[in-house]
A and B are shown apart, each in its own frame.
Chain A
Amino acid sequence: MTTAWDKLRPYGMVAPAIIIFSLFFIYPIFYMIYLSLFDWNFVSPTKSFVGIQNFRDLLTDADFRKVLSNTTIYTIMTVTLTTVLALLLALWLNRKGILHGFVQGAIFSPHIISLVSISLLWSWLMDPEYGLMNWVIGLFGFGKLAWLSHPGTSLISLVIVAVWKGVGYNTLVFIAGLQSIPGDIYEAAALDRSKPWTTFMKLILPMLSPTIFFLVIINMLGSFQVFETIAIMTQGGPINSTNTLVYYIYENGFRFFKIGYASAAGVILLGIVGVLTLVYFRLLSKRVHYR
């Protein structure tokens, strides 16, 4: 005997969450796509329809091209460095015991600290005159660098900060991946007198591939949306050398009030993120299957 209430109950239970998602995630996507077709300065009462003109303008805008190339270079460097370093660290640190636990905690710690703190701290560490980084490279015989204040080094400086913040988290995810590999596989490899390099290439790497894909995608998504470090450390400069997508959208929307133009850039970012997540979920579903 199911009453009407029994039938309605599941809808009632999911309703609050679904309403929040619809209002603040689903609807805004469509609203952004709609806005990208208009020319609007936020204060004027009328929006004028311009079709795909905003997208055309974007693609011919030298600044936007620079922004796209900055974002891509930043993403490739950050993702590659973080993933490779983390894998090496994981192979090294994957041991039980207080000492290794402590080291794991130490390298993980930046992950839970606000990006504001990290950005301010590294602005000071990379100070061109009195920064600790110049002292450190001085120990190795290098002269002072301008770090964030020079267009030639600014983007790589931001990459260093991102890698410093992210590598510990990535390492621990890799260690979790390594520990989920059954121990008898290592034993079998040892019994077969397999060389460490062969064991790594033929056994460990393939078994880690789901973890590698997961981290690469997560790191890519994060890097494509980099904002805080740029807003605090460089404001996109010097000479646009660190201007990236989310910061560009922020500036166009909130400083220049070009809402349609900023929305069009947002739609492009949405496309990039959408493709990346689709790839990720395809891989994720495959992984669930063979588990």
Chain B
Amino acid sequence: MKAVNRRVSVSGLGSAMGELPSGTGTGTVRKQALLNRTVRYALQAVNYAGLLLLVLVFALPFAWMMSTSLKTLPETMIFPPEWIPRSPVWQNYADAWNTGPFLHYFTNSIIIAAGILILQLATIIPAAYAFARYKFAGSGFLFGIVMVTLMIPAQLIFLPVYLELSAWKLLNTHLGLVLPFASSAFGIFLLRQAFMQVSDELVEAGRLDQASEWKIIVHIMVPLAKPVLVTFMLFSFIAHWNDYFWPLVMTTNETARTLPIGIAKIREVEGVATWNTLMAGNLILVAPILVVFFFSQRQIIRAFVYNGVK
């Protein structure tokens, strides 16, 4: 059955490659070819038009944000809207920056996202190594804890964590925002798999050279798992840089607040309808990420999508 199909389709493939069945005159062949080409060009045009439309759906909101950020307040209240501000108002950016201690927010964002990342690396590398390379009593139970943590979204248990941090006087501190994320179940899960793929011979060779376990981790494991580590680092940093929920919930004053909180607060300071200032502030938050994305699009997409596929 299959063989018959194959044979039939081989001849079918021939015609698809341009040889038309014999018996047709050369004139019709040419007309046919011309028609085929026209149809192909038309399809291609539709395809490009569709792609353009798709890009516009995602690019126009950002362009609109930029346009608004340079308008005067009366200009934002024109309908139908005008795309090009009559004369760009750079003052909006200064106004946005001056609604709150933005340098302070910015520093906090860096301290918290970087602090989380460093602690995560320090805790997940040894843990992933132990889970990947040692057999020890209770390892199944301990890995179960990792898996349960992987399953629970942090957003779900903020209330008890808030009470906990409050009891330890850690609200409104950098430490309070870093500590709950000082390790990552997801990171351990990813890295453990990478470590398990390292060949036993390499590790044994290291042991024969009297290398300590620490040296094996630093000189053999980490370099071999570098792509996974980079993936994890990008993922973690972007996630915590963007985070709004935890800094909102775990702070009651400015001490440890981060950029996203500051941007959201412009609305309270400036009033609801000052969209030009708001969009200027928003651009301050978005621009760095978009610039980074533009230059390392490939890695970032791989970081997020790879995590999805695994």
Contact = CB atoms under 8 A, between A and B. Distances in A.
Nearest to B124: A17
Given A113-B242, A269-B156, A24 B161 contact: yes
Interface bin, chain B: 35 or more
Interface string A161-180: 00010001100110011001
A228 B245 contact: yes
A176 B151 contact: no
Interface string B98-120: 00000000000000000000000
A168 B289 contact: no
Interface in B59-92: 59-62, 64-65, 68, 76-81
Contacts, number: 252
Contacts of B51: 99-100, 103
A26 B185 CA distance: 12
Interface residues of A, number: 93
A59 interface: no
A111 interface: yes
B164 A17 contact: no
A198 to B, nearest CB: 14
Interface string A247-266: 00110011000010011001
Contacts of A127: 275
B127 A270 contact: no
B213 interface: yes
A110 B58 contact: yes
A285 B135 CA distance: 22
Main secondary structure of the interface of A (DSSP, over half): helix
Interface in A89-137: 89, 92, 99-100, 102-117, 120-122, 124-125, 127, 129-130, 132, 134-135
B278 to A, nearest CB: 6
B66 to A, nearest CB: 11
Given A225-B155, A246-B155, A122 B61 contact: yes
Interface stretch (A7-15, A48-56, A67-75, A151-159): A7-15
Contacts of A273: 151-153, 156
Contacts of A204: none
Given A14-B130, A130-B81, A263 B161 contact: no
- A7, A100, A232, most chain B CB atoms within 10 A: A232
Interface in A182-226: 190-193, 211, 214-215, 218, 221, 225
Contacts of B153: 221, 225, 273
Nearest to A246: B155
A169 B149 contact: no
Nearest to B157: A28
B309 A11 contact: no
Interface of A: 7, 9-14, 16-18, 20-29, 31-32, 35, 42, 89, 92, 99-100, 102-117, 120-122, 124-125, 127, 129-130, 132, 134-135, 138, 164, 168-169, 172-173, 176-177, 180, 190-193, 211, 214-215, 218, 221, 225, 227-228, 231-232, 246, 249-250, 253-254, 259, 262-263, 266, 269-270, 273-274, 277, 281
6 contacts: A9-B134, A20-B180, A20-B183, A99-B51, A169-B304, A274-B151
